[in-house]
Each structure stands twice: as C-alpha cells, then as structure tokens.
Amino acid sequence: MILNIEDTETIERINNKIQSVDFFKFFMPVVEALEKEALVFYEDCGEDSISFMFLTKKEMKFFQQNQKELLSGELNSFLPQKECLNIRFVKERKSFEDVEKRVPNKVYIRRKYIQFTFTDKISIKESRIDNNYFVLFDKYQIYTVCPYKNSKYEKRFFPTTLKNISTIDASRGHFFYYYFRELEKENYFMKDILKEYHRNKSLIHLPVSFLELEHTKNKKHFLETKLKTKVSKKANKHFLAYMFYVEKVKKYIHENEISKLFSLSEEQEEKILKKLSEISREYMKIRLFLYYYYCVIGIFPEEMPEEDEDEEEDFFKNDFLDYFQNSKKIKQKISLNIKSLHGFQKIHDKVTYEVVKRQRKNKIIWKKTNPFLDLQLPERFKRIETYQDLFLEGLKNRNCVATYLDAINQEKCIIYTTEYEEKRYTIEIRKRRNKFILAQVRGFANSDAPESLVLELKKSLEEETRRFKI
C-alpha cells in the first residue's frame, strides 16, 4: 500500500531513476513484492528512497482506521523509535573510498522498517548507520557495519556474510527473501540458499562472504572452493552449514567413522545448526558440533543446554570438551562408535589417564605476575600448588583435573579443592572480561555441587574482583 500515492512526481522520478540503471533495475521485482506486504512511502530527503513498514495485524487495523489523521500528521509518532534495516544501492563502487573510516554510533529509528536508497555515492559518515545497515554495489558485493575489534564504539564496513543476514529478524528479512528469489533465476546455487533460509535462518549461519556465492555451482563445489579440500558427493543432499562443519571436524574423526555424520535426519541436522548459531566463536562451534551430534543421537540428554560463559558450564558439555581437548593432546581421534553415556565415560577416562601418564614428570610453574596468586579466598578453599597434588586430586575425586596442567601454566585458570558437608569438591577459577569467574565446581565423579557452595564461591570471587583490578 503506497502512502503518498498523490505525490506522483516523487514516485515517478524514483521509478525512472531505478529503471535507468541496470543494477537498480534488478531490484524492481523486490520492490514490487514488498509493496504487497507493507506500507510504502516514496520520499525525497536529499537522496531518493523508498521506505517499507511492516505492521502487525493489530497495527494495520489501527492504521486503516486512522489513515487520514496519521498521514496528515507526524507518521513517525505512529511507530516506536527502534531499529530499521537500511539498504543502499550504490551505482559506482569507486565512490566508496572511505571504507575503513570510523562509523558513528547507531541511532534509533522506526521498528519493522526497511528503507531503500538509490544513490550515486555513499558516505560512511551517515548519521543513521547501525548494525542493520547494508550497502550494495552490485548483486553480490554487499557491505554491512560491524564492531571493529569488538569495540563498543568503533564500527567499520565489512563484506556481508550469510551469518549477518541470518541474524536479521523475520519482518526485516523480507528483503533478503525476495532478493534471493531474484538471484536464483540466474544462479541455481541460490535456490539452495533460499530454501534453507526460508526453512530456518540458522541453517545459513555461516562465516561466508556473500561475494563467494556468485560463481558457485552447488554445495559440493562451494565447499571445495572455500575449504580447498575434496568433499563428498553427499554434500549436496545435506544443509550447507552442516556440511561446512562436517568438513571442519573430520580431521578429528577416524576416517571409517565419518559416514556416521551423514546418517542424521534433516530435523537432527537442523537441531545441531540451531544450537551452533547461538555460539559466537568459530573454534567453539567446531568443538561443540560433535557434542551436539552426541546429543541428537542420544549419548547425552536430548535437552541441549544453552551456552552461557558467565555461569557454571554444563556437566556433559564440560566432559565432552575435556575429552576433545585431551584427544588432541595425545593425537587420538574422536570416536563416533560410542553407544551410551557409560561408553563415553569409559573412553573419556581412558584418554584422561593417557594424558596424565604422559605429564607425570611435569611441574606447575608459578610466575610472580600470575594474577591468580593474589586471590584471597576463605581458608577452607585450598589452592593446588604442585602437579603431584593435582594428580592426587584427580584420583581422589575421579575427574580429569590433572589434564589442566597446561592451562594452569598458561595462566588461564587455577584449581582449588575444599571439603563441604563431608564431601570433596574440585574448583576451577578463570579470568573473563576482567573478572574472576567460577568456571566449574565438581564433586566425586563430576557430580554437581550444592547451590550454597556455588553461591559462596561466586560471592567470594566478586569481592576479590572488586578488591583489585585484574
């Protein structure tokens, strides 16, 4: 529904501008499709643009009942001031010279809102630039704004990835749905991307530049080009992101067991990818891909816990990450032949024993600069001082704490032990975000610790963090 239909001069000028440039013309079907689903406003605010507002049924009903008053007054007051998706179609790539300069902080504008701007140039000093800002120079050359080196304030333009697109909410994702529909007319591979994007956005949550999709024939061809490795023909029958992580983890798996990863249903693959899309770090996705594989085949509980770095890590996830890391240390492959939780625990303990055996002559090295040495916890929490004590702690509590030697020497963590209500507990403390954090506290055979003990430790660490800056 076009709001300013009476302003034929502006509408005609913008449409003529779109039709005059081949690159702009490509997006006319997208504009026409969105016009059927949204309130549309053609505007001239220095640069020609078309705005699309997506309303709920309740909002649409209210708008239709008060259309004259809203259009004659301030339209902005109709919708709350929140984020938008701002897309600019730029005719000339060479005008985008200040690509590496600083971008202003984001500002708030209407929600459920898409704005297309057709322009000859683009300035990175735009006041409306935020994380939902895209610049298109041609069909596949797209840039988006991202934080620079994790800064809260400095932002820069980077090539848009499928991961960026997958994080846009459903209403503003309308643009990419119709955009993919146009691209698939000339690029068969985009049919697969559209199908997976439409099914579940997490299925395309990949660190893959959109530009890499332009000359791709199919999933197998894309993965071989991207990862520079030979890929199974079965790749075309699975979700792209799933196969991407299969290729990433297969070096950790016995070659004759890799085929097991191809035996999951689409629903199981989708579960794994949904959980991976919630994890920010790529190296953790690679490790947890196999953990979630164990979850969906029933080795670990089917209810997969969410990752939360500030809370005590999940029992099963922590056990698996220990197994993964220790297998790498002794250059042993991860087994996919495990049939039960008991079977996993046996192989986990076997790998742990092998690591401990190889490290038995090693020592804990304490440097004067180690920040953990300044910790002053209550007296009943005893710091593990030597490797012999670390080894004995693992034997007494039947856990793999002895394999944490490297992490201790690298000043990534410190280990304490305590007796609480006549039971022994092993405690791991780490540094995160300039704070001391309780990474985990485990009883015999990795059993859970009482909530009262966990709360006491967290309170002590908060006090220590306040006492001095790391």
Instruction: Assess whether pLDDT exceeds 70 at residue 91.
Output: no
pLDDT digits (tens, 9 = 90+) for 153-164: 666 778 889 998
Chain centre distance of CA 8? 44
Band of residue 89 on the pLDDT scale cut at 50, 70, 90:
low
Q: What angle do CA 365, 366, 368 make, to 5 degrees?
A: 145
Q: What is the largest CA-CA distance in the chain?
A: 85
Alpha carbons 317 and 319: distance in angstroms, whole number: 5
Instruction: Assess whether pLDDT exceeds 80 at residue 422.
Output: yes
Q: Is 185 helix (H, G, I), strand (E, B) or coil?
A: coil
pLDDT at 312: 40
Band of residue 370 on the pLDDT scale cut at 50, 70, 90:
very high
Report which of 105, 106, 213 is spatially closest to residue 165, judged by C-alpha positions: 213
Residue 114: both structure tokens together: 């898409």
Q: Helices 28-35 and 8-20: crossing angle, nearest 10°?
A: 140
Q: Helices 240-249 and 266-276: crossing angle, nearest 10°?
A: 70
> Which residue type does 280 have?
S
All structural domains of the chain with their residue ranges: 8-160, 360-467
How many Å is the Cα radius of gyration of the chain?
A: 28
Alpha carbons 279 and 19: distance in angstroms, whole number: 42
Q: Is 50 helix (H, G, I), strand (E, B) or coil?
A: strand
Residue with tokens 């039971």: 423
Q: Helices 219-227 and 240-249: crossing angle, nearest 10°?
A: 40
Tally the residues of the chain.
Answer: 470
Rounded mean pLDDT of the chain? 81
Alpha carbons 202 and 274: distance in angstroms, whole number: 5
pLDDT digits (tens, 9 = 90+) for 375-406: 999 999 999 999 989 988 988 888 889 889 99
